[in-house]
Structure 1
Amino acid sequence: MEISGLYKELSVIILGALPISEVRGAIPTAIFAYQFPPWKAYILAVTGNIIAGLSVFIVLKYLSEFIVRRSNQAKKIFSWLFEHTKKRHTGHFKRYKYSFWALFIFIAMPLPLTGAWSGAIAAVIFGMPPKVAALAIVSGVSVAGIIVIILSQAGNIFLAQNLF
């Protein structure tokens, strides 16, 4: 059974939005399974991942604020978590001076457990301003997509030379 073009495109966007695959799984799937050109694979996968990353950041930020307003117990837990995390890790870089770059690099590395979802969670925990977090998520995902495209094309060339 052949999958039509629109469903293939939608599946790449959804795969890009999922927390495990993100662009690391969506781009190779689009290129190798669906035979999309690299530019199309990039646009679809990155779009899905950016939408997911920004959505996770917004939902977690406002959900944590909502829960803190409703419960004193939650306020204590969230306050401890946020302050403890900030104390332990902001000593490594001055508050907000390098936080954009740290989050950008974390998201841009296409490795397991890094990406827009993890970056959005980290941005909420560190209390990053929304504009800084959004810029880091968008630019990090964009660079991760470029890296995955390059690695996919390099792998494609390597396989073509060594298998045929």
Structure 2
Amino acid sequence: MFEVIEELKREILVLLMAAMPISELRGAIPLGISLGLSPIHSTIISIIGNMAIVPVLLKTLNPVMIFMEKTYFFSKFIGWVKRRTLKRTRATIKKYSLLGLFILVAIPIPTTGAWTGCIAATLLKLDYKNALIVILSGVLTAGLIVSTISYQIFG
């Protein structure tokens, strides 16, 4: 019984790590492997965790950012996030359209991923359905890349 609870705790930890904005898959897959999950198990849980947040973000980011921009406490931070995201993504996404968004999400380097892709798609007012499909495809690709690298390091 305790083994099942311990396994579930590890899986939930990996799932939550994958849904977080900075770590995402890049942190969750190695974490899962280091906690004793198999590379495939860790990858699947991480991809699910990272994908689960995407529809929510695409639907809620715009109203949340508009609301937070009106507050004294968050207005500067939201302005900074918008400027930074647009500066880093606008040229690529405008040049390559949805392929640019896919590349932004799929290449597992710091400050890229599902969260940045969702912010960019929201700020650039991309179609929800197209952005969702492209970001989920990018998450899957990033998961496979990070899994391969993690397996080489931990395996």
TM-score, with normalisation over the residues of structure 1?
Answer: 0.73
In structure 1, the residue matched to 2:101 is 103
Letter in 1 for 2:111: L
Structure 2: distance between partners of 1:56 and 1:144: 18
Structure 1: distance between partners of 2:25 and 2:50: 7
**Residue 154 of structure 1: how far off its partner (Å):** 1.4
Count of equivalent residues: 139
Structure 2: distance between partners of 1:29 and 1:18: 13
**Residue 89 of structure 1: how far off its partner (Å):** 3.8
Quick check: 145-154 or 54-63, which moved more? 54-63
Q: Which runs of 5+ in 1 are unaligned?
A: 68-77, 158-164
In structure 2, the residue matched to 1:18 is 20
- Pair 1:90–1:150, CA change in 2 (3 A): closer
What is the Cα-based RMSD across aligned positions, in Å? 2.9
In structure 2, the residue matched to 1:53 is 54
Q: What is the percent sequence identity of the aligned residues?
A: 36
**Contact 1:108-1:142 at 8 Å conserved across structures:** yes
Q: State how 1:33-48 maps to structure 2 within 5 Å.
A: 33=35, 35-48=36-49
Structure 2: distance between partners of 1:27 and 1:153: 9
**Contact 2:18-2:24 at 8 Å conserved across structures:** yes
**Residue 127 of structure 1: how far off its partner (Å):** 0.5
Letter in 2 for 1:114: T
TM-score, with normalisation over the residues of structure 2?
Answer: 0.77
**Residue 61 of structure 1: how far off its partner (Å):** 3.2
Letter in 2 for 1:122: A
Letter in 2 for 1:17: A
**Contact 1:54-1:137 at 8 Å conserved across structures:** no
Letter in 1 for 2:103: I
Structure 1: distance between partners of 2:152 and 2:93: 35
**Contact 2:105-2:114 at 8 Å conserved across structures:** yes
**Contact 2:92-2:100 at 8 Å conserved across structures:** no
**Residue 90 of structure 1: how far off its partner (Å):** 6.0
- Pair 1:92–1:21, CA change in 2 (3 A): closer
**Contact 1:23-1:148 at 8 Å conserved across structures:** yes
Structure 1: distance between partners of 2:90 and 2:136: 23
**Residue 44 of structure 1: how far off its partner (Å):** 0.7
**Contact 1:15-1:25 at 8 Å conserved across structures:** yes
**CA offsets, 1:35-80, max 9 Å, x none?**
111221111111111112322121113446x75xxxxxxxxxx9xx
